Structure 1
Amino acid sequence: MKKSLLVLALAAVTAAPSFAMAEAGDIVVRLRATNVSPSESSSLGSTTTAAGLPAAVLYGSPNAELKVGNNTIPEIDFSYYITKNIAAELILAVGTRHDVSITPGTGAVAANLGSVNLLPPTLTAQWHFMPDTMFDPYVGAGAAFVLGMDRSLTAQVGPNALPIRIERSNFGAVLQGGFDINLQDKWLVNFDVKKVWVKTDVTLDAGAGFQKIDNLHIDPWVVSIGIGKKF
């Protein structure tokens, strides 16, 4: 009877799924859908005088703000496990295009200013709490380098189109949390949330050269879901 139970136990272990538990030296490649949702802070109306007009006239209100729209993009990232608990993650994404507008947008400047294309490669260090289990939560911290690839913004003031520029590149701090669900054959499902703190100077040329009109804190939430494979 004992021999039969032992045989059944061994058979059960042999037939159990082989989950993708992390080990030192592993490389994980993930493909994710990522939503970038800025949580901006702007002081456009209270800090700007352009084209000889007070801010309240130009933008409609001393409380006018720049708003940056959301976008969802494909993203690929690579993780290297230094130990089974500590991993370094490099996130590469295609440029994320965001519409930029003024709210309330009731002044002399048209409310919609155009769009800007940003490229945000990000590097984080992660701590994985339970790498030997199917459910593997983690936290991380690091830095993002936000590159302004395309600055096609224009302030339409009556018949005049005044060019707007944003500072081309900025570094920002990143905090991260998420989890992997380890599956068979080294596959996994991933959910990830990041908070990025990044700011940029905004300048406008009203005929006398580019002058600063805003110090825009973009500070996006970055939420991702996707699949991955360990190698």
Structure 2
Amino acid sequence: MKKSLVVLALAAAFSPMLAQAEAGDWVVRARAVNVSPNEDSRLGNKANQGSLGTILSPGAELTVSDKVIPELDISYYITKNIAAELILALGTRHNVSIEDDSAGAVGNQDLGSVNLLPPTLTLQWHFNPDQMIDPYVGAGINYTNMLDKKLRFSSGARAGNSIKIDSDSWGYALQAGVDINLKDGWLINADVKYVTIDTDVKARLGANNTGAWEKIDSLDINPWVVGIGIGKKF
């Protein structure tokens, strides 16, 4: 009897903490996220890179730096378990560099920075929407708008020549995370996403920064996006 009373007391104590999701609910989350590119660069591939490929080391590649940014997302529960989430990260600025070309005529160097705007839409399955701990998985599409995308060789054989990120990107996104539901609709959230982003990189390789734009790389950025934050159900 005493054990039953204890169980009922605990249930009564914790039940107000559960912000149960239902069809038609909206959830707004704010996260701090680390965007960590998992880039794949073919900068040193002489078969594809025109005149630049003749003066680079075979292993030369473009690298893209990590960045911590704020992220806002809005979810709508289509059913109790299925939610659509629109992820609205602010523009994320990354430094771009050449690495592994110490033996080449261009050399290792910083090229500048680019600004990426990557809105993403995912469809999620929530396993325990009526429990305190609610893990979920999701998948969807990403569109990355390449903003402020001009770079420049700062030293070496092509010093002063311009570089540009040539195209925006469509890709897919995979997602996993967990909501910890608290009282009054509040929640704590942890989330990880893998996003595919690919683009072409072009440069003007003529003397005095002249000539046609030549493709110098097919760059896959493909970041891991890991975040933690808070949210509110409405």
Does the TM-score normalized on the shorter chain lie above 0.5? Answer: yes
Question: Which amino acid in structure 2 is aligned with residue 183 of structure 1?
Answer: L
With over 3 angstroms needed to count, the CA separation of the structure-2 counterparts of 1:160 and 1:138, relative to structure 1, is same
User: Using the alignment, how far apart are the partners of 1:126 and 1:12 within structure 2?
Assistant: 28
The match for 2:37 is 38
Deviates more, 1:120-129 or 1:109-118: 109-118
The one of 84, 106, 122 aligned to 1:124: 122
The match for 2:138 is 140
- Structure 1's consecutive aligned runs of 4 or more residues displaced over 4 angstroms after TM superposition are 8-12
User: Using the alignment, how far apart are the partners of 2:35 and 2:10 within structure 1?
Assistant: 48
In structure 2, the gaps of 5 or more residues are: none
Question: Which amino acid in structure 2 is aligned with residue 126 of structure 1?
Answer: Q
The match for 1:48 is 49
The one of 192, 214, 218 aligned to 1:211: 214
Task: Using the TM superposition, give the Cα deviation of residue 14 of structure 1 relative to its aligned residue in structure 2, in angstroms.
Answer: 7.7
Q: Does 1:221 align with 2:224?
A: yes
Task: Using the TM superposition, give the Cα deviation of residue 56 of structure 1 relative to its aligned residue in structure 2, in angstroms.
Answer: 5.2
> How well do the aligned residues superpose, as a CA RMSD in angstroms?
2.2
The match for 2:73 is 77
Deviates more, 1:119-128 or 1:152-161: 152-161
Q: Secondary structure at the match of 2:33?
A: strand
Task: Using the TM superposition, give the Cα deviation of residue 49 of structure 1 relative to its aligned residue in structure 2, in angstroms.
Answer: 3.3
The match for 2:83 is 87
Task: Using the TM superposition, give the Cα deviation of residue 160 of structure 1 relative to its aligned residue in structure 2, in angstroms.
Answer: 3.6
Q: Secondary structure at the match of 1:228?
A: strand
The match for 1:109 is 106
Q: Secondary structure at the match of 1:108?
A: coil
Determine what percentage of the aligned residue pairs are the same residue: 56
User: Using the alignment, how far apart are the partners of 1:15 and 1:218 within structure 2?
Assistant: 44
Task: Using the TM superposition, give the Cα deviation of residue 171 of structure 1 relative to its aligned residue in structure 2, in angstroms.
Answer: 0.5
If the length of structure 2 is used for normalisation, what is the TM-score?
Answer: 0.88
Alpha-carbon contact 2:50-2:216 (below 8 Å) kept = yes
With over 3 angstroms needed to count, the CA separation of the structure-2 counterparts of 1:9 and 1:93, relative to structure 1, is closer
Alpha-carbon contact 1:95-1:120 (below 8 Å) kept = yes
User: Using the alignment, how far apart are the partners of 1:9 and 1:210 within structure 2?
Assistant: 72
Task: Using the TM superposition, give the Cα deviation of residue 124 of structure 1 relative to its aligned residue in structure 2, in angstroms.
Answer: 0.2
Deviates more, 1:117-126 or 1:96-105: 96-105
Question: Which amino acid in structure 1 is aligned with residue 106 of structure 2?
Answer: V
With over 3 angstroms needed to count, the CA separation of the structure-2 counterparts of 1:112 and 1:189, relative to structure 1, is same
In structure 1, the gaps of 5 or more residues are: none
| Residue pairs, 1:3-18, within 5 angstroms | 13=12, 16-18=15-17
User: Using the alignment, how far apart are the partners of 1:105 and 1:29 within structure 2?
Assistant: 45
Alpha-carbon contact 2:65-2:96 (below 8 Å) kept = yes
User: Using the alignment, how far apart are the partners of 1:99 and 1:187 within structure 2?
Assistant: 36
With over 3 angstroms needed to count, the CA separation of the structure-2 counterparts of 1:227 and 1:14, relative to structure 1, is closer
With over 3 angstroms needed to count, the CA separation of the structure-2 counterparts of 1:160 and 1:24, relative to structure 1, is same
Alpha-carbon contact 1:189-1:226 (below 8 Å) kept = yes
User: Using the alignment, how far apart are the partners of 2:91 and 2:211 within structure 1?
Assistant: 32
Q: Secondary structure at the match of 1:88?
A: strand
